[in-house]
Amino acid sequence: MSSSLPRWRLLWSPPADGATHMAIDVAMVEAVAEGKAPPTVRFYCWEPPCLSLGRRQSVSEVDLQRCQAEGVEVVRRPTGGRAILHANELTYSVVFPETDLRAMGGVLETFRRFSEAFAHALRALGVSDVALAPRLDPVARGSGFVCFEVPTDYELTVNGRKIMGSAQWRHQGVVLQHGSLPLAGDPGAIARYLKNGPDPERLRRRTITLQEAAGRPVAFEEAAAAILEAFRSLLAIETQPGGLTPEEQARIPEWRERLSVLRRSEVGSM
């Protein structure tokens, strides 16, 4: 895939709380929409652990008291999708104009393109049985609250178990897609922080970490490097390290307050 765009900015964000990370993603969308920042690939991890909710999910399902007591942040993503507990993982985001060739064909086609690149990266890391999940109607997908209970269209599975979850938001002519690749840990742990959560054992049967799939520990940096190589070879995305602009930095505090569930009135039910 050829492109006339300049190199995409590559951001390596230090570990931060979930509200900060979601605020950065929104700030990048706004800056790209205004022509004040280039298309961007960003990698990050979460500290402390964080439960993120999809844009339209109800906070009533979350055990906010337990989250607060155990130091687990709760944040609302700008994207849709279902709840994720972010702990030992690699998270990526890509932000680019809808006029970009990689966005052509709509949301699902964009998902498919990037999922093929992620599958290529996972195979390079030693995951031989990775596949793109087939498209499913809403009834077949079910109504569970947790992202990793079931793969959605074109998400990645290993022998039927979900290994990566992504979500997308299109706003002001800009695409934000971000997603979670669990490196290790307990896929059933999220159930502890939900009032009527799924059976943890069922989650463990339906989800797989990169460590289990590859048969070895994979470091954050190694996984990110494999993804960047797949972006280059399959999507013609060339990157150049950079930083957030002053305009993006200035937008973060407001969005951080707006997206943090535990800082807002939603915690009043505790």
Per-residue confidence (pLDDT) for residue 262, from 0 to 100:
74
For the entire predicted model, the pTM comes to: 0.91
Long-range contacts of 119-123 (CB under 8 A, 24+ apart): 119/156, 120/230, 120/233, 120/234, 121/223, 121/226, 121/227, 121/229, 121/230, 122/156, 122/163, 122/164, 122/210, 122/213, 122/214, 122/226
Confidence of residue 75 (pLDDT cuts 50, 70, 90): very high
DSSP structure string for 34-48: TTSS--EEEEE-BSS
Strands of 112-184, DSSP E: 130-132, 156-158, 161-171, 174-182
Residue 168 has pLDDT above 50, yes or no: yes
Rounded mean pLDDT, 47-60: 94
Give 8-269's CATH code, choosing from 3.30.930.10, 3.40.50.300, 3.30.565.10, 3.40.830.10: 3.30.930.10
The pLDDT, as a whole number, for residue 218 is 98
Identify the DSSP state of 120: H
Q: Across the strands, what pairs with 31?
A: none
147 included as an active-site residue: yes
Q: Is the pLDDT of residue 139 over 70?
A: no
pLDDT at residue 137 in the model: 53
Q: What is the chain's Cα-based Rg? A: 18
What are the two backbone dihedrals, phi and then psi, of residue 85, each rounded to the nearest 5 degrees? -95, 115
Nearest 5°: CA angle at 193, between 190 and 195?
Answer: 115
**Model confidence at 265: pLDDT above 50:** no
Contacts of 268 (CB under 8 A, 6+ apart): none
Residue 210 has pLDDT above 60, yes or no: yes
- pLDDT category, 151, cuts 50, 70, 90? confident
Q: What is the mean pLDDT of the chain?
A: 91
The pLDDT value given to residue 3: 47
Instruction: Specify the pLDDT at position 267.
Output: 43
Q: Domain extents for the chain?
A: 8-269
Catalytic choice (45, 50, 67, 147): 147
pLDDT in the model for residue 110: 95
| Angle, helix 18-33 to helix 246-259, in steps of 10 degrees | 130
